[in-house]
A and B are shown apart, each in its own frame.
Chain A
Amino acid sequence: MSRFRLVLDPTACDGHGVCAELLPEGIALDDWGFPIIAAGIADDHLPHARRAVSACPALALRMVRTDRHGGP
């Protein structure tokens, strides 16, 4: 059970795709260039996930603890 998960704000997301490049194990792009986020982040991927969150040009990604309610 991963300690963290990524939460995407789809209204802020503009489909830049930087996140998918930095965390391909956890973020894939759909047919329109928007991210599909896998559930949970493995612990060794956490630094990559943090970089993906920081690099998003639209600040659409957040990292949330899995025991806390982060999405809608």
Chain B
Amino acid sequence: MTRTAAVPTRPAARRRPTPTETARLLPASGGPTYREHLDRVGPLPAAGPGLIQEVLESGLRGRGGAGFPTGRKMVAVRGRRGPAVVVANGTEGEPLSAKDRVLLARNPHLVLDGLVAVGAALRGDRIIIAVERARQDTVAALRHALVERPDHGPVIELVQTPSRYIAGQETALVRWINGGEARPVFGNRIYERGVAGRPTLVDNVETLAHVGLIARFGAGWFRLIGPPAEPGSMLVTVTGGVDRPGVYEVPIGSSLTQLLGQVGARRVQALLVGGYFGTWVGGERIAAVPLSAEGLATVGSRPGCGVIVALPDDVCAWAEVATVAEFYSAHSAGQCGPCVFGLEDIARAVRGVLAGDPEAEAAARHWTAMVKGRGACHLPDGAAGFVESALDVFGGEIADHRLGRCQRPHHGYLPSPAPGDWR
């Protein structure tokens, strides 16, 4: 069947009008029940391999933080031998992120539709959704939604993971599902051998929610908002020194300044974009930066999983940085020397900066350079990127600490939740 480039085709059975507002994932009205979901967007059309092409053309990129083109991941798995396994990653280990659990609470069926659709497109015979076991309210909401699913649909397994930052990493998640510990596996190309040794696709729950809509309304519709290189809407968790913290759905490419105004941000010293795995952006550089990978790249940052923390100018930044450095060290999987020892030393160096040790800055820079790329996963890179951006953005305050002149309190906008068990 040929397609004309400009006009998107529609499945003939569609009964509902195409959604036009930005509120694609977080519905403007209505609740999470299956009935209400169908009233909003209509039934999920039967998906086949054609969905892969649709997702490719949509330009959808992963919303879990890496931003990898989702269609390409699907192609990688499709090319392998054997039935595939699809995993929806709702573990959301990033401490300040709330978008995944808000999405699962308010629109679980859209996520499950995306999961089912991808499973069908890849001719997979096992589909799984994973959430952290500490989030029992999310587990309950999902269980409720799973009961509502039609009986003729595929079985969706619900897996609960340990409460550890690294448990959401692809290979760690696959290892956990396979019955092992939730620790990363070096060199594991899960699209070749993943769950039960089969080609496996792991996608963030928000990504799958977008797929649930693309399966109904097509690539062209998806591209109606957002810039051509990164189309669509995204969920952001805005927190920190703001009057109205929470999860918001915005078109990619929208103005950061406008968003901060919307949430009532107080005087912003700096933004932490992308959560702990992200980087700092100095307050004076935020103006005119669009919330997109391309826009944030101009200030040395990336959207990541969409966490935006506004740090007001009346708190001590280095105290917050030190807490996160400690967090990283505590959450190491303990498998790779440079991570185990390096992250501990980096945390020590950052504490040194906070305490005014004159050699601490150089030590921090030395060790962050030393740990990058040296682990089986990207945890050391996250720590290094976070601390390096802090050294750049808050470099001016290091002298204050050296002279004992920083009077600002440690507010604790960036918490350090203790790691749970591995099993």
Asked if A and B bind, the verdict is: yes
B187 at the interface (CB under 8 A from A): yes
Q: Mark A10-48, 1 if CB is under 8 A from B, else 0.
A: 111111000000000000001111101000000000000
B126 at the interface (CB under 8 A from A): no
- The verdict on A9 contacting B338 (CB below 8 Å), with A30-B370, A31-B367 known, is no
B293 at the interface (CB under 8 A from A): no
> Are A34 and B187 in touch, CB under 8 angstroms?
no
Q: Please tell me the number of chain B residues within 8 Å of chain A, measured between CB atoms.
A: 19
Give Cα distance in the complex from A36 to B339, angstroms: 13
Q: Mark B181-217, 1 if CB is under 8 A from A, else 0.
A: 0001111110000000000000000000000000000
Give Cα distance in the complex from A5 to B185, angstroms: 21
| B53 surroundings in chain A (CB, below 8 A) | none
> Are B342 and A10 in touch, CB under 8 angstroms?
no
B154 at the interface (CB under 8 A from A): no
B341 at the interface (CB under 8 A from A): yes
Give Cα distance in the complex from A64 to B342, angstroms: 27
Give Cα distance in the complex from A15 to B339, angstroms: 12
- The verdict on A72 contacting B337 (CB below 8 Å), with A9-B187, A30-B370, A32-B342 known, is no
Beyond contacts A30-B342, A30-B374: 19 other A-B pairs, Cβ-Cβ < 8 A, are A9-B186, A10-B336, A10-B339, A10-B376, A11-B336, A11-B376, A15-B337, A31-B345, A31-B370, A32-B338, A32-B342, A34-B337, A34-B338, A34-B374, A36-B370, A36-B374, A72-B186, A72-B189, A72-B376
B335 at the interface (CB under 8 A from A): yes
Looking at the complex, which one of B187, B335, B338, B375 makes contact with A30 (CB distance below 8 Å)? B338
Give Cα distance in the complex from A34 to B401, angstroms: 33
B377 CB → nearest A CB, Å: 8
| A32 surroundings in chain B (CB, below 8 A) | 337-338, 341-342
Give Cα distance in the complex from A13 to B184, angstroms: 15
Give Cα distance in the complex from A40 to B193, angstroms: 27
Looking at the complex, which one of A11, A70, A72 makes contact with B335 (CB distance below 8 Å)? A11
Q: Please tell me the number of chain A residues within 8 Å of chain B, measured between CB atoms.
A: 17
| B188 surroundings in chain A (CB, below 8 A) | 72
In the complex, 18 of the A-B residue pairs with CB atoms within 8 angstroms, ordered by the A residue number, are: A9-B186, A9-B376, A10-B186, A10-B336, A10-B339, A10-B374, A10-B376, A11-B184, A11-B336, A11-B376, A15-B337, A30-B338, A31-B341, A31-B345, A31-B367, A32-B342, A34-B337, A36-B370
Nearest A-chain residue to B371, judged by Cβ: A30
A36 CB → nearest B CB, Å: 7
Interface residues of B (CB under 8 A from A): 184-189, 335-339, 341-342, 345, 367, 370, 374-376
Q: Is chain A's interface secondary structure helix, strand, loop, or mixed overall?
A: loop
* Total number of residue pairs linking A and B with CB closer than 8 Å: 51
Looking at the complex, which one of B184, B189, B337, B370 makes contact with A33 (CB distance below 8 Å)? B337
- The verdict on A13 contacting B187 (CB below 8 Å), with A31-B370, A34-B374, A72-B376 known, is no
Nearest B-chain residue to A62, judged by Cβ: B187
Nearest A-chain residue to B375, judged by Cβ: A10
Sort A-B residue pairs by CB-CB distance and give the 4 closest, nearest first: A10-B336, A34-B337, A32-B341, A11-B335
| B376 surroundings in chain A (CB, below 8 A) | 9-11, 72
> Are A13 and B336 in touch, CB under 8 angstroms?
yes
Give Cα distance in the complex from A19 to B206, angstroms: 44
Nearest A-chain residue to B183, judged by Cβ: A11
| B338 surroundings in chain A (CB, below 8 A) | 10, 30, 32, 34
Nearest B-chain residue to A60, judged by Cβ: B186
Give Cα distance in the complex from A69 to B187, angstroms: 10
Give Cα distance in the complex from A66 to B156, angstroms: 41
Give Cα distance in the complex from A30 to B338, angstroms: 8
Give Cα distance in the complex from A62 to B370, angstroms: 22
> Are B335 and A10 in touch, CB under 8 angstroms?
yes
Nearest A-chain residue to B187, judged by Cβ: A72
Nearest B-chain residue to A71, judged by Cβ: B187
Give Cα distance in the complex from A10 to B340, angstroms: 11
A70 CB → nearest B CB, Å: 8
Give Cα distance in the complex from A71 to B186, angstroms: 8
Nearest A-chain residue to B370, judged by Cβ: A30
Give Cα distance in the complex from A30 to B374, angstroms: 10
Among B185, B188, B338, the one with the most A-chain Cβ atoms within 10 Å of its Cβ is B338
Nearest B-chain residue to A9, judged by Cβ: B186
> Are A13 and B370 in touch, CB under 8 angstroms?
no
| A30 surroundings in chain B (CB, below 8 A) | 338, 342, 370, 374
| A70 surroundings in chain B (CB, below 8 A) | 187
Give Cα distance in the complex from A68 to B188, angstroms: 15
